[in-house]
């Protein structure tokens, strides 16, 4: 999802990103105005109103998340709402607490409903002759009426019990308590696909563009969430001992940079743990060694190494470890027993190790049958 989005900047320390689906939707709005001989600016205006409606709900959810101490890494804006990515595993676990989950789920619809009511009251006070009930409710021809109904539509839509909508998240939490998170997500994702199909049928029957698009975005969101949970269920069964490198090179803080470069020439590693005795004291990359040699000449590893690192245990699951370290820019995770380093996992070797592990498990299943 992130690869098909672009950044809008940061707000309250959280990166805001908008998905390319919004660009697709802008094209639909412009095509509609062209076919009805309306100004293109009206199509752009209607698109902007949808962006505002999504922004209203996500800003409200961001405020509630900050109130509960949840640390967010980014918010990805979709036409049906936003997807939150938590900065720490602790925040992700806290967000699954029943009370916080309900509040986060209700915040978006309440924000959209409140905004729609506010605009409707302003319209009633300033222009009482304007009929907000006149159809079509959402149209480039009448942007004031559209902003009210877009917010109402988004509020009602997200109360439906299907993932990835807000109502679906609450239902998933209820199923997760009895059947596990993976099974709960599969159930709500299936509900989302049924709802998307119903929206498609209703959209075709009524020839309603907004129902068709809602069905499309719900279907895409449900499938992506289902794939994400499937991936999570796989990596949760893989432990660090299964994929860690047990034969690796280490450096000492007292090594010179030229010695470290010579050792890296004869190693496939891009990152090296720096160890003093049995204790790990830092991490250094091949690129850092080269840059230091080019800019400052020969020196010692301890002057260039990074002292910011986090360790894992052999029994830790791969999913838990990388969710804990997500967003921290770590390319090497040392695996320790007590104070002794027994292995490393790098982004460089992870995919290779995972492929071999999957093949090993497949062959083992075949031999057992």
pLDDT tens-digit map of 196-224: 888 888 877 877 777 777 777 777 766 66
* Residues 20, 169 within the same domain: yes
* Residues 262, 224 within the same domain: no
Q: Final residue of a domain: which of 205, 235, 265? A: 235
Rg (CA), the chain: 26
Q: Is the pLDDT of residue 236 over 70?
A: no
C-alpha dist (Å) from residue 28 to 135, 162, 216: 20, 25, 13
How confident is residue 47, by pLDDT bands cut at 50, 70 and 90? very high
pLDDT tens-digit map of 89-143: 677 778 878 888 889 989 999 999 999 999 999 999 988 888 889 888 888 999 9
* Residues 73, 174 within the same domain: yes
Which of helix, strand or coil describes residue 305? Answer: coil
Q: DSSP assignment of 140-202, as one string?
A: TT-HHHHHHHHHHHHHHHTTSSSTTSHHHHHHHHHHHHHH-HHHHHHHHHHHHHHHHHHHHHH
* Residues 137, 59 within the same domain: yes
pLDDT tens-digit map of 260-283: 998 888 887 888 999 988 788 888
Q: Please, which residues bridge with residue 14 across strands? A: 11
* Residues 144, 245 within the same domain: no
For 294, how many CA atoms within 13 A lie in the half-sphere containing its CB? 6
CATH of the domain at 306: 3.10.580.10
Contact 271, 346 (CB under 8 A): yes
- The separation between CA 83 and the C-alpha centre of its own chain, rounded to angstroms, equals 6
Q: Final residue of a domain: which of 235, 261, 277? A: 235
How confident is residue 324, by pLDDT bands cut at 50, 70 and 90? low
Contact 166, 108 (CB under 8 A): yes
* Residue 160 lies in domain: 2-235
Average pLDDT, the chain: 82
pLDDT for the residue numbered 135: 84
Contacts of 89 (CB under 8 A, 6+ apart): 320, 323, 324
* Residues 219, 247 within the same domain: no
* Residues 120, 188 within the same domain: yes
* Residues 358, 292 within the same domain: yes
DSSP annotation of 175: H
* Residues 261, 176 within the same domain: no
Pick from 177-181, 214-218, 243-247, 319-323 the range whose average pLDDT is largest. 243-247
Domain count, the chain: 2
Cα–Cα distance for residue pair 31/231, rounded to 1 Å: 38
C-alpha dist (Å) from residue 367 to 242, 325, 359: 20, 37, 12
Strands 14-19, 72-78: pairing kind: parallel
Q: Final residue of a domain: which of 213, 235, 257? A: 235
Strands (E), the chain: 5-11, 14-19, 72-78, 81-86, 271-276, 279-285, 332-337, 340-346
* Residues 162, 132 within the same domain: yes
DSSP annotation of 2: G
* Residues 125, 75 within the same domain: yes
Cα–Cα distance for residue pair 230/223, rounded to 1 Å: 11
* Residues 171, 299 within the same domain: no
């Amino acid at each position: 999802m992130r690869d098909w989005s672009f950044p809008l900047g940061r707000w309250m320390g959280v990166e805001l990103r908008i998905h390319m689906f919004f660009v697709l939707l802008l094209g639909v709005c412009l095509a509609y105005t062209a076919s009805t001989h309306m100004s293109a600016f009206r199509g752009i205006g209607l698109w902007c109103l949808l962006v505002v409606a999504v922004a209203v709900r996500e800003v409200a959810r961001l405020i509630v998340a900050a109130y509960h101490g949840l640390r967010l890494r980014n918010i990805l804006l979709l036409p049906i709402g936003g997807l939150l990515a938590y900065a720490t595993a602790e925040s992700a676990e806290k967000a699954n607490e029943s009370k916080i989950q309900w509040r986060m789920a209700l915040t978006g619809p309440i924000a959209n409903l409140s905004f729609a009511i506010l605009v409707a009251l302003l319209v009633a006070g300033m222009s009482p002759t304007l009929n907000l009930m006149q159809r079509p409710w959402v149209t480039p021809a009448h942007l004031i009426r559209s902003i009210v109904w877009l917010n109402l539509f988004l509020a009602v839509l997200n109360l439906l019990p299907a993932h990835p909508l807000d109502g679906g998240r609450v239902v998933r939490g209820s199923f997760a308590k009895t059947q596990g998170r993976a099974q709960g997500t599969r159930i709500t994702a299936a509900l989302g696909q049924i709802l998307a199909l119903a929206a498609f049928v209703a959209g075709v029957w009524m020839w309603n563009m907004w129902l068709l698009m809602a069905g499309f975005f719900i279907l895409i969101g449900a499938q992506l969430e289902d794939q994400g949970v499937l991936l999570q269920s796989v990596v949760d069964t893989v432990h660090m001992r299964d994929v860690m490198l047990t034969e690796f090179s280490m450096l000492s803080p007292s090594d010179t940079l030229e010695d470290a470069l010579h050792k890296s020439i004869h190693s496939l590693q891009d990152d090296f743990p720096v160890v003093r005795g049995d204790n790990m004291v830092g991490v250094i990359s091949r690129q850092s060694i080269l840059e230091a040699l080019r800019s400052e000449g020969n020196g010692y590893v301890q002057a260039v190494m990074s002292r910011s690192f986090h360790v894992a245990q052999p029994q830790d699951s791969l999913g838990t470890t990388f969710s804990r370290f997500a967003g921290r820019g770590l390319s090497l995770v040392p695996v320790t027993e007590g104070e002794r380093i027994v292995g490393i996992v790098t982004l460089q070797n992870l995919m290779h190790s995972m492929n071999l592990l999957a093949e090993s498990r497949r062959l083992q299943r075949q031999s057992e049958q």
